[in-house]
Amino acid sequence: MSFGSRLAAAVAARGPLCAGIDPHPGLLDAWGLPRDASGLERFALTCVEALAGRVALVKPQSAFFEAHGSRGVAVLERVVAESRAAGALVLLDVKRGDIGSTMAAYAEAYLADGAPLAADAVTLSPYLGFGSLDPALDLAERTGRGAFVLALTSNPEGASVQRAAAGGRSVAQAVVDAAAARNATAGGPGSVGLVIGATVGEHGLDLSALNGPILAPGIGAQGAGPAQLRAVFGANLPHVLPASSRDVLRHGPDVAALAAAAERVNAELSAAV
């Protein structure tokens, strides 16, 4: 099955929540864990235990693991493997974007069969040109994996590039259109998704031809909830995967409390989308 089809089945079974696994130093402190690789491991594997058997999609933020060097990357490998073993799809948040052989090497690292960090999907940045992502998108298609491409993000610095006009449309709309073209020949739900922040407000994007999922970060701690999702995505809500990390993770380190928080947020989002 394609990633798009597997994702649709997982969301139908488990709800739309994408649960972030973000071992932020502040969260390690809040959980009473040391800011080292041992604290990272306890945090991350607790998240896997609480979340991966309950939600459709988990999203480890690679940077927080990479900050601990080789030991952190080894923990990330376990998170990917154990989350998938528990039934969750894994979206590895790496936001890679490069050209030529370098992009191909990133693709092999995250999207090739047998790679230690091979996930079900990754996040990609298209701002060296959407075509620069072809090595990753081509490999993802061959291996039944997916990608979420940054289109319109909620950070204020992004607007100067993403909302700029280019050829009569915004840069973000050009990204949307390129993703839609990639999905146009899919036999079912497309496997090339977009990242559009849940807090971006009025955006003017035409998403009608996308035929793919939309990852919507910003739920909870960043201020977005069901009302913001409806305002931003409207008729496209059935394709939205609301992403929440700290709003759920603040309930740790108790596994039962983490699981209950995820189930509560998931139920609220299911009703909204």
Local structure of residue 29 (DSSP, 8 states): H
Per residue in 171-212, pLDDT (tens digit) is 999 999 999 999 999 989 999 999 999 988 889 999 999 999
Whether 59 is catalytic is no
pLDDT average, residue stretch 136-150: 98
- Give the amino acid at 97: G
pLDDT average, residue stretch 72-88: 98
CATH code, domain with 101: 3.20.20.70
Question: How many domains does one find in the chain?
Answer: 1
- Give the amino acid at 149: V
* Containing structural domain, residue 198: 3-272
Contacts of 34 (CB under 8 A, 6+ apart): 28
Contacts of 249 (CB under 8 A, 6+ apart): 20, 21, 22, 27, 47, 258
HSE-up of 120 (CA within 13 Å, CB side)? 27
Report the percentage of the chain scoring pLDDT > 70: 99
Q: What is the pLDDT of residue 220?
A: 77
Q: What is the pLDDT of residue 221?
A: 67
Give the torsion sign (CA, 96, 214, 219, 27): negative
Band (pLDDT 50/70/90 cuts) for residue 272 is: confident
> Are residues 191 and 215 in contact, defined by beta-carbon separation less than 8 angstroms?
no
> Are residues 73 and 40 in contact, defined by beta-carbon separation less than 8 angstroms?
no
91 vs 121: CA distance, rounded Å:
5
pLDDT average, residue stretch 244-249: 92
133 vs 129: CA distance, rounded Å:
8
Band (pLDDT 50/70/90 cuts) for residue 273 is: confident
Phi then psi for 165, rounded to 5 degrees?
-85, 140
Catalytic position from the list 95, 246, 251, 264: 95
Per residue in 15-29, pLDDT (tens digit) is 999 999 999 999 999
Contacts of 220 (CB under 8 A, 6+ apart): 244, 245, 246, 247, 248, 265
